[in-house]
Structure 1
Amino acid sequence: MTGDRTIDGNWHKNINGLGKLGDWLGIKNIIQYLFNEEKTEAKIFIKNKQDTFKGLVTLFTTGHLIPGIVTSADVAGKRSIIYKNKNVIYLGGMPKNCMDSSFWDYLIDFEIRPFSNKTILKMFDGIYKYERKNTNSHYYFIANMSDHNGTIEIGKVGLLDENNQIVKSGQRKISAFSYEILRDRKKKV
């Protein structure tokens, strides 16, 4: 991602190389450069592994680091190449070899996959789903609008049916011109 230039190809007037994006993220002391020799190399260390970044890199100061990930770039001091705050991750460059990257593997396995939405319900031809929420539950209204029996696939454990019984995950038959109401209880914080 680059937000480093205006439409005319100039730096933003406020010297924030990311413009409004950088302001919104609250990152400071931004530097950008094109990595082209060993002394300007930007590396990232994850536990006992490391990755090197290529091309245009953006490094910055932030109070929102990912624990266990350390950036090292001789020309950038203590700046970082990665930012995380709640569900926002900003990465200031691309690994040199994305197809064999311990950094990508870590980022996907520990920062993205655990929070990605799993398919709760998969609908097949003629079956429709409507969702509604209130403060206690998330409801799934499922209607088979076809003239033949169909199936839905439930990808979440712990959904409840209309009788407050736990519904098994996996495929579930739904009769022609029928409906089901499933409910997912919201977790109390």
Structure 2
Amino acid sequence: MFDPKLYHEACSEMHVSEEKLQEVIHMTEQNKKRAIRRPLRVGLAAAALCALTVVGASAANPEFLEEIVLSIRSTVVVSDYQEELIMEDGSQITALRYPDVSVEERDGRTILTVDGAETDITDALSEDGRYVWEATDNGSQAQVIVTLDEDGKPVWVANVAAAGEELEDSEVSLVSEPSGKRTHIVD
């Protein structure tokens, strides 16, 4: 398992030359896509942490929320769907990111969009009554299941499992409304 104290001690003894530092800065500036995704991931992790804190606390306590957010020392991106937040006291919190999902009917076809990638699922819905999209990244798993409601409109459920966990054991699912416009969280 990851030992944050050992990692911090090992990294604190490392020193880099000015030349290598400039080379890394130059390489980072060339990769604009990474520079944009990193703040987005940190923002999503912070948003997930805030949402979990609000739900868990069950009371509006802004000082408590501020204390937690300010105590995040670093984040480690495990995968597209998982980050580990390392707190000042060395404790670790797992933050999960659900894929960005939408289902729309376009020109008589049903189109599933997951994280910007479109898939025509019309035939699968007609044949099986459902379509399952799955992705695995560095042990983390994401799944979107699309079915048809009583009116024949597509609805979806998204599940995410951290590395080492099973999708069937996920405790929170993101569920679409029949209109496909709004979502809510189900425990």
Q: TM-score range by the shorter chain?
A: under 0.3
Larger Rg: 1
Scaled by the length of structure 2, what TM-score is found?
0.20
For CA contacts below 8 A with separation 6 or more, give which structure has more relative contact order.
1
Please state which structure has a larger fraction of its residues in helix: 2
